């Protein structure tokens, strides 16, 4: 019987940084950085959003652009308040790795509960086709108390139907943030279900915790 071989950090593609360039500084204090370099291999690598892993269990999130498959060169764009001197560094490429491979990473099994969400109705610039219907209006919701985590968007169909409870006069949907996403498989962890949470608010479902996290196995990256 064949089995999937566990994947480790050294099995990931690596981005060898040849130079860094500082760009504009934004009002938020974040600075644009451009890292040029080469990849030791390009199988499965495409331009777009990715992560470069740094020492001390940190990472850079950004976009890989100007990928030259023959030369294996590329440019990585990111915005950070600061970055260390990375010229000459060889950085593993991808995401969600430290929290899986680090044996002392602390996880707690928790029961997830629905949270209140703020709601904002808006009209998009362009029409989208959702389930065969034209949609131009959307509801944006954000979890109360964690507004910087990101938003979710729900279409308002021409009939006025939207797959959300009604917002109150204060613009709050009680229990509107009804699920979380597993960081590894992206499946829902619904209210009333157990999952695992680390100190940085990363969330994984029980299945992925058992299959990958507790085994320190990076084979989930094969389907990324």
Question: Is there a single domain that holds both residue 22 and residue 49?
Answer: yes
In a domain, 187, yes or no: yes
Average confidence score pLDDT of the chain: 87
The pLDDT, as a whole number, for residue 218 is 84
Residue 35 belongs to what domain range?
9-95
Question: Is there a single domain that holds both residue 146 and residue 189?
Answer: no
Q: Which of 50, 49, 48 is nearest to 14 (CA)?
A: 50
Question: Is there a single domain that holds both residue 128 and residue 157?
Answer: yes
Distance of alpha carbon 189 from alpha carbon 108, whole angstroms: 15
- Residue 73 maps to which CATH number? 2.40.30
pTM: 0.62
Angstrom CA distances, 3 to 6, 7, 182, 219, stand at 9, 12, 24, 11
| pLDDT average, residue stretch 181-187 | 85
In a domain, 121, yes or no: yes
Question: Is there a single domain that holds both residue 126 and residue 89?
Answer: no
Number of folded domains that form the chain:
3
The pLDDT, as a whole number, for residue 2 is 43
Q: What is the pLDDT of residues 187-208, one digit of tens each?
A: 999 999 999 998 878 899 999 9
Question: Is there a single domain that holds both residue 142 and residue 205?
Answer: no
Question: Is there a single domain that holds both residue 18 and residue 83?
Answer: yes
In a domain, 177, yes or no: no
| pLDDT average, residue stretch 65-91 | 91
Question: Is there a single domain that holds both residue 64 and residue 15?
Answer: yes
Q: Does pLDDT of 19 surpass 90?
A: yes
Contacts with 141 (C-beta within 8 Å, 6 or more apart), sequence order = 117, 118, 119, 120, 151, 152, 153, 154, 164, 173, 176, 177
In a domain, 63, yes or no: yes
Q: What is the pLDDT of residues 119-157, one digit of tens each?
A: 999 998 888 988 899 999 999 999 998 876 678 889 999
Select from 62, 95, 128 the last residue of a domain: 95
Question: Is there a single domain that holds both residue 123 and residue 154?
Answer: yes
In a domain, 1, yes or no: no
Question: Is there a single domain that holds both residue 159 and residue 186?
Answer: no
């Amino acid at each position: 019987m064949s089995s999937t071989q566990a994947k480790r950090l050294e099995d990931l593609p690596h981005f060898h940084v040849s130079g860094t360039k500082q760009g504009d500084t934004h009002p938020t204090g974040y600075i644009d950085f451009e890292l040029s370099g080469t990849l030791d291999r390009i199988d499965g690598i495409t331009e777009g959003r990715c992560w470069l892993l740094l020492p001390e269990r940190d990472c850079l999130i950004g976009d890989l652009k100007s990928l030259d498959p023959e030369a294996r060169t590329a440019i990585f764009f990111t915005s950070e308040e600061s970055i260390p001197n990375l010229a000459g560094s060889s950085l593993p490429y991808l995401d969600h790795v430290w929290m899986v491979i680090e044996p002392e990473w602390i996880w707690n099994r928790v029961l997830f509960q629905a949270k209140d969400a703020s709601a904002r109705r808006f009209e998009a610039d362009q029409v989208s086709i959702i389930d065969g219907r034209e949609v131009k209006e959307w509801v944006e919701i954000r979890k109360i108390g964690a507004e910087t985590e990101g938003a979710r968007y729900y279409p308002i169909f021409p009939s006025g139907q939207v797959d959300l409870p009604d917002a109150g006069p204060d613009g709050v949907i009680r229990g509107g943030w009804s699920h979380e996403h597993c960081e590894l498989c992206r499946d829902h962890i619904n209210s009333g279900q157990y999952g695992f949470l680390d100190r940085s608010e990363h969330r994984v479902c029980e299945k992925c915790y058992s299959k990958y996290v507790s085994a320190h196995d990076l084979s989930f990256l094969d389907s990324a």
